[in-house]
Structure 1
Amino acid sequence: MVQNFKSLGLNKNLIKGLNELGIQTPTEIQAQVIPLLLEGATHLVGQAQTGTGKTAAYGLPILEQINPNQKSIQALILCPTRELSQQVAKQLFKFTKYTDKIFTEAVYGGEKIDIQIKNLSRPTQIVVATPGRLIDLLSRKAIDLSQVNTVVLDEADEMLSMGFKQQLDDILSHLRNVENKWLFSATMPHGIKQIVNQHMAEDAHRIQISRDVVNKNIEHKFLQCEEVDKLPILLDFLKTKKGERGIIFCKTKAATAKLAKQLIAKNIAAEALQGDMLQKERDKVMRAFKNESLRVLVATDIAARGIDVQDLTFVVHYQMPDQEEYYTHRSGRTARAGKEGLSLALVTSKELRILRSYEKALGIGISEIRAK
């Protein structure tokens, strides 16, 4: 039986908002997680990739549990990046079109802290925060988490790889008595297991969504070539994708900047996106990409986190990532919302070995294209 949101236990006003957004059939993680989280005090460890619909999986139960008449912060969501924080806050706002007013505030680094402190002085029931900025607000006593009954760690492995382990431990220690603790992570490295063991109940529910769910609409291909041939091959590929948009991934900031320059020199509407950019430069690039005046983003793995742009038909791995989960995260930028997409890797013979190991570990088929 295909489930709908009503059968999962959501109220009709939230369902009305979802219908308007064209969201009618729960994804696998939503179907498994939502009824569980609606039951009351729950500790949950969910393993799921980007693009499986986890924001709604935890966001909808949070909205169900918020008391709109209580003006204090009742839920805290921790995210690795500014973009993801903004995206989550925006999504929650969209879900509440037909419900009682629920106020969400996103707080993150790269924005003046005074403005965020002022915003938090208004009635706020949900806070979406990056760990570093939340610690700053706590140390200034500018945020009151005493009424929080739900804390969510979203993309926990990414927060770990960005060096937030200490901050996460501090925040979770501060919220020791919170009834609902929900952690979502694409992978389960040792650091995440430590967090689970230290801060969550022994009988925490564990849900793992199989990897192939994310990949079913993504076609994985590779083309083997020498390093010097990558640029001409990429240019040929972009010619065949006239008018289509995508992201090209490099491993380093320097490689990203160099490739973006090379593409611009060939009259391709491209820009680099990397971690050292000032926030306003980054916002400018993202605005241009979202309003389609940019066709191609050239990005590092960290800089691309939290990007959610619809209708990207391809991603290109110009340089292979060091970790298999990065391959998954990169590929997951295309084929969103049930659409199809292409993940193309340009690999040297050395990189091909890495690609084959990811293919095996992830259980996906990657087919070869021959250079013309």
Structure 2
Amino acid sequence: MTKFEALGLNSALLNAVTDLGFETPSEVQEKSIPLLLEDEIDLVALAQTGTGKTAAFGFPLIQKIDSQSRTTQGLILSPTRELCLQITKEIQLYSKYVKGLNTVAIYGGASITDQARQIKRGAQIVVATPGRMKDMIGRGIIDISKLDYCILDEADEMLNMGFYEDIKDILSNTPKDKSTWLFSATMPREVATIAKKFMHNPKEITVGTKNSGVDTVQHEYYVVGGRDRYSALKRLSDSNPGIFSVVFCRTKRDTQRVAEKLIEDGYNAGALHGDLSQNQRDLVMNSFRKKQIQMLVATDVAARGIDVDDIT
């Protein structure tokens, strides 16, 4: 019996697990999957980004959904377009052996008519950013009144970004007796408020210690005066010629400025922030994944939850 079998996954999911080359479940998967499969519960899971959360809620969701019915049964809310697309791709990979299961991504910056068309065809799982989701509910394009499962992914980040009212409005359109699964890296007051207001006696799991870093990462820091920061960044890059990195800036303006200076100085850099069109963001992310961009300069919001291996 494989370790994933022991969690209670069915053969369609186990075949996908084999294809994906997953061997051992992560801690959040080990704790969440059996709980979610065995019962209809509400769950609050505290786990850092990068701990395998998408599979932790994705596997049980796929297994519990009726792919023969075209009703929207599962809604996953996530803070950014990039994360929304990434979750959608992962759910599609996990469910590739489940006949008739459609997962659709709903996010701003892309054609609402195309998204409406996909919903109309029948989408059992919808992955959405809160703003566009609220818009589509308002226009009567999507019906979540028969929803069985609602998942809030990166809940702390969604609330940081000011989506509290949107999330409240969206949840008020869902049935009272659905199951709500909330995944968050931290537990600020607003997240606790949502849990209290929209969840029934949620079970809680914490992976690692609250608000801690990942132990596979080595930390180094340099104390540098403001005006020397850019030279220090260049020197770091020069001393690591094969560098593959993310540079975080506080504002969109800083992001654009630093990326432009790096490009001018001959580095393979690109910017990722909320003012870019969806098309531009997709191009930047694709180039970064293919390592054509070695230094991705981003706001922390735009890069939250992006799944890229081998960062220097």
**TM-score range with shorter-chain normalisation?**
over 0.9
The residue type paired with residue 221 of structure 2 is F
Contact 2:259/2:270, CA 8 A, preserved across alignment = yes
1:52 counterpart residue number: 51
Contact 1:18/1:95, CA 8 A, preserved across alignment = yes
SS of aligned partner of 1:218: coil
SS of aligned partner of 2:45: strand
Decide which moves more: 73-82 or 170-179.
170-179
- How far did residue 3 of structure 1 move? 7.7
Contact 1:66/1:125, CA 8 A, preserved across alignment = yes
1:205 counterpart residue number: 203
- The C-alpha deviation readout for 1:2-30, integer Å capped at 9, x for no partner, is 98111111112211211221111010010
- How far did residue 205 of structure 1 move? 0.1
User: Aligned partners of 2:304 and 2:224: how far apart in 1?
Assistant: 28
1:70 counterpart residue number: 69
Contact 1:154/1:183, CA 8 A, preserved across alignment = yes
Distance 1:3 1:241, change over 3 A: farther
User: Aligned partners of 2:216 and 2:145: how far apart in 1?
Assistant: 44
Decide which moves more: 248-257 or 61-70.
248-257
Distance 1:250 1:213, change over 3 A: closer
1:141 counterpart residue number: 140
User: Aligned partners of 1:241 and 1:178: how far apart in 2?
Assistant: 54
2:92 counterpart residue number: 93
- How far did residue 290 of structure 1 move? 2.0
- How far did residue 159 of structure 1 move? 0.8
The aligned length equals: 311
- How far did residue 213 of structure 1 move? 7.8
Distance 1:288 1:162, change over 3 A: same
The residue type paired with residue 174 of structure 1 is N
User: Aligned partners of 1:53 and 1:288: how far apart in 2?
Assistant: 24
1:179 counterpart residue number: 178
- How far did residue 175 of structure 1 move? 1.4
User: Aligned partners of 1:87 and 1:278: how far apart in 2?
Assistant: 17
- How far did residue 131 of structure 1 move? 1.1
Distance 1:241 1:101, change over 3 A: farther
- How far did residue 214 of structure 1 move? 5.2
* 2:299 is equivalent to residue 300 of structure 1: yes
2:231 counterpart residue number: 232
- How far did residue 270 of structure 1 move? 0.6
The residue type paired with residue 168 of structure 2 is D
1:12 counterpart residue number: 11
User: Aligned partners of 2:178 and 2:53: how far apart in 1?
Assistant: 20
* 2:285 is equivalent to residue 274 of structure 1: no
2:258 counterpart residue number: 259
- How far did residue 165 of structure 1 move? 0.4
SS of aligned partner of 1:215: coil
1:284 counterpart residue number: 283
Contact 2:250/2:300, CA 8 A, preserved across alignment = yes
User: Aligned partners of 1:266 and 1:99: how far apart in 2?
Assistant: 50
User: Aligned partners of 2:311 and 2:177: how far apart in 1?
Assistant: 39
- TM-score normalised to the size of structure 2? 0.95
The runs of at least 4 aligned residues of structure 1 exceeding 3 Å deviation read 211-214
SS of aligned partner of 1:19: helix
User: Aligned partners of 1:223 and 1:216: how far apart in 2?
Assistant: 20
The residue type paired with residue 91 of structure 1 is E
User: Aligned partners of 1:5 and 1:209: how far apart in 2?
Assistant: 18
- How far did residue 302 of structure 1 move? 1.5
* 2:161 is equivalent to residue 193 of structure 1: no
Contact 2:42/2:181, CA 8 A, preserved across alignment = yes
- How far did residue 148 of structure 1 move? 1.3
2:36 counterpart residue number: 37
Distance 1:16 1:62, change over 3 A: same
User: Aligned partners of 2:243 and 2:308: how far apart in 1?
Assistant: 13
- How far did residue 132 of structure 1 move? 1.1
User: Aligned partners of 1:127 and 1:25: how far apart in 2?
Assistant: 28
* 2:140 is equivalent to residue 130 of structure 1: no
Percent identity reads 42
User: Aligned partners of 2:98 and 2:203: how far apart in 1?
Assistant: 29
Distance 1:213 1:194, change over 3 A: closer
The residue type paired with residue 178 of structure 2 is E
2:152 counterpart residue number: 153
User: Aligned partners of 2:175 and 2:187: how far apart in 1?
Assistant: 22
The residue type paired with residue 205 of structure 1 is K
Contact 1:150/1:178, CA 8 A, preserved across alignment = no
* 2:20 is equivalent to residue 21 of structure 1: yes
Decide which moves more: 26-35 or 134-143.
134-143
- How far did residue 215 of structure 1 move? 1.2
User: Aligned partners of 2:48 and 2:238: how far apart in 1?
Assistant: 31
User: Aligned partners of 1:146 and 1:252: how far apart in 2?
Assistant: 38
- How far did residue 252 of structure 1 move? 1.6
Please report the RMSD computed on the Cα atoms of aligned residues, expressed in angstroms.
Answer: 1.7
Decide which moves more: 233-242 or 153-162.
233-242
**Unaligned runs of at least 5 residues, structure 2:** none
1:170 counterpart residue number: 169
- TM-score normalised to the size of structure 1? 0.80
SS of aligned partner of 1:45: strand
Taking the TM superposition and a 5 Å limit, the aligned residue runs for 1:347-358 are: none
